[in-house]
Amino acid sequence: MSMKLPLEGVRVVEFVHMVMGPTCGLLLADLGAEVIKVEPAPQGDNTRRLSGSGAGYWMTYNRNKKSLAVDLKSVEGMAAVTALLATADVVTENFRPGAMDKLGLGYEDVKVLNPDVIYCSMKGFLPGPYDHRTALDEVVQMMTGLAYMTGPEGRPLRAGASVNDVMGGMFGAVAILAALYERKNTGKGQFVQSGLYENSVFLVAQHMMQYAVTGKPAAPMPSRISAWAIYDVFATGDGEQVFVGVVSDSQWQVFCEAFGFSELAADTTLALNNQRVEARDRILPVVREHFGLMGKQELMAICERAGLPFAPIRRPQDLFEDQHLLESGGMTPVTLPDGRSVMVPMLPFEMDGRRFGARLDVPLPGSHSRELLQELGYSQQEVERLLAAKVVLDNRGDMQ
């Protein structure tokens, strides 16, 4: 990580919470941008204190960031923030529609301070009839049919991860990168937006196009007609489960040879993929019976030797011990609030052989308030006065 990072020299100021906005900042921060998270004093970002299914949000999406904890309701606090915004290349926010405008920190306000700024607003909906609504990942999954496609008939079910929040943040980052590139040519900043609803529509586009092509509605995943005969989860004789897929005619021949299905291989009525899909009710009982006599490790070993797609059925916590993630360097350390060091997945790509891990640990509230104020020209005496008045807080303040 000693080499220069792709986004070094880019300063991002973020007003974000939960998942969508922080994901955008994480992507930019991991790639080398200086990302400064502005948090409200005296409590800091509420995401820090979420429990239940939100307990992992803060630690997942906030490494490599600096924290400025400030009272935006105070004149001096707002003055510090506006001084910071004047130095920003990028500003991001994902609060409810109109919230930043009410604070005097909307795009038009920031543009007056910083005409070349790129301002990214991540919302539930892009401009249109729905843009006044408040959205959640569940809301847009229900609206777009993603939940319908995931659950059984009559039982819509959201995806098991914050897929729209994460992807919405990623698309926000893509728009920012495009705007930064365009600014090199034009010298102008701009306002960009990313929509949670539109992201979910993008995810179900393949099902929309299935209907357009076939004239038949896409069935929910649990009751769909698969595009392949062997594309399912199979029970093994030791009480485990393994997913196996056979997605081409050549793989079918390899599959039959690897597992000794000589009769199936010789059956000319099963030579082509669509023929096998039609004969799925005939093929699957034979395969299930055979796999039911095998152990999980034996089944996976045969698939691996044959180059067939397969996967053990795992839980998210199992990935902390995943051989590939650990040996390939796909995890990076962060420190939990209780002082424990744990590993968290890195961004899922590399550039010229480089992966992008943690340079800065997940910040405490206001960890960098002092240094940022001094960089903005505040004297040591002024900084101490603002800290004493709790206009700003550092990691030794009340919010620890």
| CB-CB neighbours of 43 under 10 Å | 14
| CB-CB neighbours of 263 under 10 Å | 10
Question: Residue 202 above 70 pLDDT?
Answer: yes
Residues 346 and 331 sit within 8 Å (Cβ to Cβ):
yes
* Closest to 178 (Cα-Cα) out of 168, 167, 190: 190
β-bridge partners, 67: 37
Domain boundaries, the chain: 11-203+329-393, 226-316
Question: Residue 51 above 60 pLDDT?
Answer: yes
308 Cβ partners below 8 Å, 6+ apart?
244, 245, 246, 251, 254, 255, 258
What is the phi/psi pair of residue 25, to 5°?
Answer: -65, -35
Q: 59-83, pLDDT tens digit by residue? A: 999 999 999 999 999 999 999 999 9
What is the phi/psi pair of residue 315, to 5°?
Answer: -105, 155
Name the token pair of 384.
């101490």
Q: What is the pTM of this model?
A: 0.93
The pLDDT-based confidence of 400 (bands split at 50, 70, 90) is very low
CA distance 309 to 312: 11
Q: How high is the pLDDT of residue 133?
A: 94
Which of 30, 71, 89, 165 is an active site residue?
165
Q: How high is the pLDDT of residue 396?
A: 54
Residues 267 and 324 sit within 8 Å (Cβ to Cβ):
no
Q: 209-242, pLDDT tens digit by residue? A: 999 999 999 999 888 878 999 999 999 999 999 9
Concatenating the DSSP letter of every residue in 282-329 gives: HHHHHHHHHHTTS-HHHHHHHHHHHT--EEE---GGGGGG-HHHHHTT
Q: 156-181, pLDDT tens digit by residue? A: 999 999 999 999 999 999 999 999 99
* Closest to 14 (Cα-Cα) out of 110, 90, 83, 86: 90
Q: Which CATH class is domain 226-316?
A: alpha beta
Go through the chain and tell me how many residues it has: 400
Sign of the C-alpha dihedral, residues 378, 104, 34, 334?
Answer: positive
310 Cβ partners below 8 Å, 6+ apart?
242, 243, 244, 245, 299, 300, 303, 304
Name the token pair of 288.
């299930």
Name the token pair of 395.
């990691």
Q: How high is the pLDDT of residue 1?
A: 47
Question: Residue 397 above 70 pLDDT?
Answer: no
Q: How, if at all, do strands 341-345 and 331-335 pair? A: antiparallel
Residue 293 identity: L
191 Cβ partners below 8 Å, 6+ apart?
107, 119, 121
Task: Give the strand order in the sheet containing 34-40.
Answer: 190-195, 118-123, 90-93, 11-15, 34-40, 65-70, 392-393
What is the phi/psi pair of residue 393, to 5°?
Answer: -130, 150
322 is catalytic: no
186 Cβ partners below 8 Å, 6+ apart?
none
CATH number 3.40.50.1820 given to 11-203+329-393: no
Question: Residue 203 above 60 pLDDT?
Answer: yes
- First-last CA distance in the chain: 30
